[in-house]
Amino acid sequence: MTIALMDEDVKIVHNLIRQRFKLRRKELKLSIRKLAAAAGVEYSLIDEFERKGRDIRLSSFIAIALALQIDPLQAVKDEGADK
């Protein structure tokens, strides 16, 4: 596997997580501010993650996933992989 392919894979997973988190936040009818407070992270981190794809630390990822009632491991799982 080449580095370029790995970089592309990272972008795909990153975008998948962004979409899943944003969709779940909307399902729970949470504002970005309320999610940030529940996860113990800054508003700007979630805002920039959703809008611009900002990289976030693993600890922030886990905190946000848990605040969204998502198992962090399931957030990165390809739903089509088991089918």
Identity of the residue numbered 14: H
Does the pLDDT at position 83 exceed 50?
no
Query: Both tokens of residue 68?
Result: 């969204």
Task: Categorize the per-residue pLDDT at 1 as very low, low, confident or very high, splitting at 50, 70 and 90.
Answer: low
How would you label 42-76 residue by residue, b for 16+ Cβ within 10 Å and e otherwise? eeebbeebbeeeeebeeebbbbbbebbebeeeebe
- The residue that leads in pLDDT, 57 or 8, is 57
Q: How far is it, in rounded angstroms, from Cα 37 to Cα 74?
A: 22
List of residues 6+ apart from 3 with CB closer than 8 A? none
Model confidence, pTM: 0.83
Please give the average per-residue pLDDT across 58-70, as a whole number: 97
- The proportion of the chain whose per-residue pLDDT surpasses 70, expressed as a percent, equals 87
* Cβ atoms within 10 Å of 36's Cβ, excluding its own: 20
